[in-house]
Copies of this chain bind each other. A is one copy, B any other.
């Protein structure tokens, strides 16, 4: 009997810690879900992670061969070192050598990537990239912030220090909203779940959204209100779509990838943003106009088409991407 190769993936988040065993044929074999005990300190969190990894290893290594362990972590993550640099979602972890902390406990090497990069890898290998037979893509993950990952020819593009894929902090409005990153007008300030709630509250406070006044909003309830015809709620998503369209136009013009994917929780409001996204893309990117589905170029040369789509994978993208990491190869710029 041939022994199946499996991997163990870790999705380290600011709230939850998920550890799973995975094979290409069977997907997630088993997932261990733990709280991320930030209050107990980073060493305790790594202890929890490594205990779970060893639990899965003891359970699956009899019948399977372990290819490796992949870890997706909130960034900024320096590679190849594996050191975190002031990660906003892991307070107190600045300068933490996450790679050394894990590898010394497991006594084996692990593959590390930022969470947005592993989500993009999963989308490329198991999501829309697989469906479209395309192995290069740029993904924007709209959650608390805006994550970004770039996959070129099937590999994560890490950049020189592992910090590629921060298009969420590209400037959209140069004199716009101050961002915790130190800049102004970052995409993240306009197109994250946090941003649409902030925009609603700002409009309520300035009296420019009477149809929203008197309620407390979440990104989800705003989308529901928009779906039910609330014009002020609809405008919030039009504004988010404009920022996304400006960002995507720049990314299309710069990289001309065959596939751009929008994921994360706020992507559930794709239908509320897409008209504005494509209007901006058409206006701001002649590369997009030349290569959009249905254009003469795309009709003649389907491989040259630019596809812009909502992500196929849901909240498991980060965990699946971490599981794939040991099978994939990263590309250092």
Contacts and interface: CB of A to CB of B under 8 A. Distances in A.
Interface of A: 76, 78, 81, 85, 136, 148, 150, 152-153, 157-167, 169-174, 181-184, 242, 246, 249-251, 253-258, 283-287, 289-291, 297, 300-301, 303-306, 331, 333
B76 A253 contact: no
A15 B290 CA distance: 26
Given A78-B301, A297-B85, A333-B153, A169 B290 contact: no
Copies of this protein, total: 2
21 contacts: A85-B290, A85-B297, A150-B255, A153-B331, A158-B256, A166-B253, A166-B254, A166-B286, A167-B253, A167-B254, A169-B253, A169-B285, A170-B249, A171-B284, A173-B174, A174-B246, A181-B286, A182-B289, A183-B249, A184-B284, A251-B254
A81 B76 CA distance: 40
B159 A256 contact: yes
A248 to B, nearest CB: 11
Contact of A256 (B153, B164, B306): B164
A256 B326 CA distance: 23
Given A160-B257, A161-B297, A166-B254, 18 more contacts: A78-B301, A148-B254, A150-B255, A152-B333, A159-B255, A160-B256, A160-B291, A161-B305, A165-B254, A166-B287, A167-B253, A169-B286, A170-B253, A171-B246, A171-B250, A184-B283, A250-B250, A258-B333
4 interchain residue pairs of minimum CB distance: A159-B256, A161-B304, A170-B250, A164-B256
Nearest to A291: B161
A229 to B, nearest CB: 28
Given A287-B76, A297-B85, A162 B256 contact: yes
A286 B250 contact: no
B76 A286 contact: yes
A322 B210 CA distance: 60
Nearest to A284: B183
A246 B246 CA distance: 14
A160 B306 contact: yes
